[in-house]
Amino acid sequence: MHTRPFWLGFLVIVLLLAACTQAAGTPLPPTPSPAPTSAPTEVVPTPVPPVPSTGDEPKGKPGSDVMDPNGPVIVYSRTGGIAGTSERWDLYPDGRVVSEEGGEFQAEPQQVVDLVAAFEQAGFFEMQQSGGPGGTCADCFTYDVAVRAGEKSNQLRFTDADSNLPGAFMQTMQQLNMFLDGLEPQ
Residue 51's pLDDT is 33
105 in a structural domain: yes
Domain count, the chain: 1
Q: How far apart are CA 9 and CA 29, in angstroms?
A: 32
Per-residue pLDDT reduced to its tens digit, 42-81: 433 333 333 333 343 334 444 455 567 778 999 999 999 8
Q: Residue 75: enclosing H or E segment and its boundaries?
A: strand 74-80
12 in a structural domain: no
98 in a structural domain: yes
pTM above 0.85, yes or no: no
122 in a structural domain: yes
Residue 107's contacts (CB-CB under 8 Å, 6 or more residues apart) are 91, 95, 96, 97, 179, 183
CATH code, 175: 3.30.1560.10
Domain containing 162: what range?
62-180
Q: Which of 14-28, 45-59, 93-107, 161-175 has the lowest mean pLDDT?
A: 45-59
The chain-wide mean pLDDT, for the chain, equals 76
77 in a structural domain: yes
CA atoms within 13 A on the CB side of 167: 0
Beta bridge partners of 158: 143
17 in a structural domain: no
Query: Which of 183, 160, 180, 179 lies closest to 170, judged by CA?
Result: 160
Per-residue pLDDT reduced to its tens digit, 75-126: 999 999 888 889 999 999 999 999 998 899 999 999 999 999 999 999 999 9
Q: How far apart are CA 155 and CA 167, in angstroms?
A: 17
Q: How far apart are CA 98 and CA 73, in angstroms?
A: 12
2 in a structural domain: no
41 in a structural domain: no
Interval 2-26 mean pLDDT = 59
